[in-house]
Structure 1
Amino acid sequence: MNIEVFSVKGFSGNLLKNMLEEALQKNELFYPVSLINSVDQFIEAGLASVPALKIGDKIIQNSTENAMEEMIREAVDFLKGNEDHDILVPVDFSPASIHGLHYAKMMAGYLGLGINIVHVHYPVYDPVTSVSLDEHLMKQSEEQVEDLAAELRKVDEKNDNPVRISTNLEIGGIDVSLIDILENKKHDMMVMGTKGTDTGIRRLFGTVTSTVSRHATKPVIVVPPQAEIKFPGKIVIGFSEELIIDKTLETLLKFGAKNSVFFDFVHINDNEKEFKKLKDKLYENLMSSRDLLVGFNIRSMPLGQKHIDEVLSEYAESVKAGMIVLVAKHRNFIDNLTHQSVTKKALLHATLPLMVIHPVLNTVE
């Protein structure tokens, strides 16, 4: 969508365009802005006066003393209110990532979101062939991404409410680029497939999937190859005190609110006193958000000699859950290399779709 700035030739038109572009960038709204000085186009657009802004079919005019500031504020508010929201779906064209893409499309349909298919191209540097080879690989990747989008759109041709699909080709380091892209305001979450292969190297350093899911600040759903493409009717949540921090629980409840999801909260610990304390606090928070709930259960399970991720996974499969949710703790790079977190282990052995969310803190400006 293009934003048009209508103004007579001169300083004021350029100033309005520049101020608008700065405001859009500040609010992470990425739209092209063009300046129009033609009187014929003023008349064709049906303008009563200039300067004016046109966003799609919406015309913004203001003749007050602070006209420019007011028009820019109105434009930003309008764009924020009408901004599309997407699920970010990274693909590397492997069968696992394509499976993740189909899962994301299903999820988008249930949540009323679009999907943004992105492939991150890692530059090839070779003193002899790098330029020609890299250009060829980039063009090939771009065509593959567009082909994927075209296939999905074709499936939706007879659908009354087709999922909105967009594509992106990015250049850079894969894990860092994906985290940066996910932070764009239009992305509500990320869904990505995982190969599900467990090797010594992966256990030590983690995969791109593991890195992104544990360091992104928005929900990331990791989809193993054997996962059924079906919206989860029951979700098992491994809960600890991180889940109760401020808006973290609210984020999870909103995810399931529109689709009658049953939440099964499981605390894995041999300390009953600790469980009682957490259970009371969780129940209190759930009751304050009861309008978002269809049904829930809170239980504890003994850890015994097993790892937490094993107990949680076995329980989820026994109750036929469609997804597992974990709340991840943020750690620095050195800690990450040595710390065998529950999240990391669960990602390496995932058999069900796994959502990783992070504590959402209230911030005071």
Structure 2
Amino acid sequence: MKNILVATDFSKNADKALQHAILLAKAYQSKIYLIHTYLPYWMEPGVYADAVMMQEALDEQQKSVSAKFTPSIEVLEEAGIAYETILELNDVTSGIFDAIEEKQIDLLVIGRTGSGGFLDKLIGSNAAHITAKANIPVLAIPNQIEEVKIKQILYATQLEFDETEVLTQVFAMANKLEANVNLVKVEVAFEPDVQPDQQFLAEIKSKFASEKFEIVMVKAGSVTDGILTLAKVQEADLIVLAAHHRNFLSQIIDPSKSKQVILRSPLPVLTFQLKGDL
């Protein structure tokens, strides 16, 4: 993990996202790219400006926004982390994906917006939306998180796909952070069990025989409820999901479980995207 991108709106929640990025950057000796995107004032409804006024306003806005990086820069310098700031005239999603490609980002860290209530589930949040579209791991930090630490990791497995590549990265992270990993499979009555669980359990135990971990099977009314309940019981600091890119039809029939977890979790959620459709 060489390059970490942190999206900031200069809020307290963005500061928490940065602190988590610093924790990982220290473990991996990574560089942090801190990005903020903005749109011109004159794009707001009811604002009119001619060409000269627009350029003057844009220059002033850029100067004003750029100055807001200062507190974060001081934090990064105090932590001894290599960094670069990115200020882009763009919308949030486009700016982030441009930076991911240009800077060869390995991990995106973003503060989660919203409270996970009805409105969030209806229209989503930037964190959940970006996570669903990203082709790199995304760490979403909720606004209610207080302590910045990762010592207990809960990995939610589907036991339906080969997750070896993701698990390899998770165990590597755990070793660098001196953290523990527990795997959980939530069994729900109406969920299809396409592949035999024992097949994947045997493969995981064989491939990661040198790692210390537990695999817990739990029953719950929903996958999300099961994951969040067990995370609380195990006093987890981080939830890890391996989510499948779904085709259009399956998104309508069965809303993304990873998005539900991201929106509702009081803990940081790290999502890896598995390629392919269900």
TM bucket (normalised to shorter chain) is 0.7 to 0.9
Q: CA shift at 1:226, angstroms?
A: 2.6
- 1:163 and 2:163 correspond: no
Higher relative contact order, chain-length normalized (CA < 8 Å, sep 6+) = 2
The verdict on how the C-alpha distance between 1:185 and 1:280 changes in structure 2, with shifts beyond 3 A counting, is farther
Q: Aligned residue for 2:60?
A: 136
Task: Point out where structure 1 has 5 or more consecutive residues left out of the alignment.
Answer: 1-83, 157-161
The verdict on how the C-alpha distance between 1:199 and 1:281 changes in structure 2, with shifts beyond 3 A counting, is closer
Q: Aligned residue for 1:231?
A: 149
Give distance in 1, aligned partners of 2:205 and 2:37.
39
Q: CA shift at 1:198, angstroms?
A: 3.1
The verdict on how the C-alpha distance between 1:286 and 1:169 changes in structure 2, with shifts beyond 3 A counting, is farther
Larger Rg, first or second structure (1 or 2): 1
Q: Aligned residue for 1:312?
A: 227
Post-superposition Cα deviations, 1:108-141, rounded to whole Å, max 9, x if no partner, equal 1122212111101224435415433333222211
Post-superposition Cα deviations, 1:27-47, rounded to whole Å, max 9, x if no partner, equal xxxxxxxxxxxxxxxxxxxxx
Residue type of the partner of 1:198? Answer: G
| Total equivalences in the alignment | 268
Instruction: Pick from 114, 133, 148 the counterpart of residue 215 of structure 1.
Output: 133
- 1:206 and 2:124 correspond: yes
| Correspondences of 1:56-205 after superposition (within 5 Å) | 85-124=2-41, 125=43, 126-128=47-49, 130-153=54-77, 155-156=78-79, 162-184=80-102, 186-205=104-123
**SS class of match (1:247):** helix
Give distance in 2, aligned partners of 1:199 and 1:288.
40
Give distance in 1, aligned partners of 2:200 and 2:20.
34
Q: CA shift at 1:347, angstroms?
A: 1.4
The verdict on how the C-alpha distance between 1:243 and 1:259 changes in structure 2, with shifts beyond 3 A counting, is farther
- 1:280 and 2:199 correspond: yes
Give distance in 1, aligned partners of 2:239 and 2:168.
17
Give distance in 2, aligned partners of 1:249 and 1:151.
31
Q: CA shift at 1:334, angstroms?
A: 8.0
The verdict on how the C-alpha distance between 1:262 and 1:140 changes in structure 2, with shifts beyond 3 A counting, is same
Q: CA shift at 1:273, angstroms?
A: 11
Q: TM-score, normalised by structure 1?
A: 0.65
Instruction: Pick from 225, 249, 265 the counterpart of residue 350 of structure 1.
Output: 265
Q: Is the 8 A contact 1:324 1:352 kept in 2?
A: yes
Give distance in 1, aligned partners of 2:271 and 2:61.
32
Q: Is the 8 A contact 2:163 2:242 kept in 1?
A: no
Task: Point out where structure 2 has 5 or more consecutive residues left out of the alignment.
Answer: none
Q: TM-score, normalised by structure 2?
A: 0.84
Give the 4+ runs in structure 1 shifted more than 6 A. Answer: none
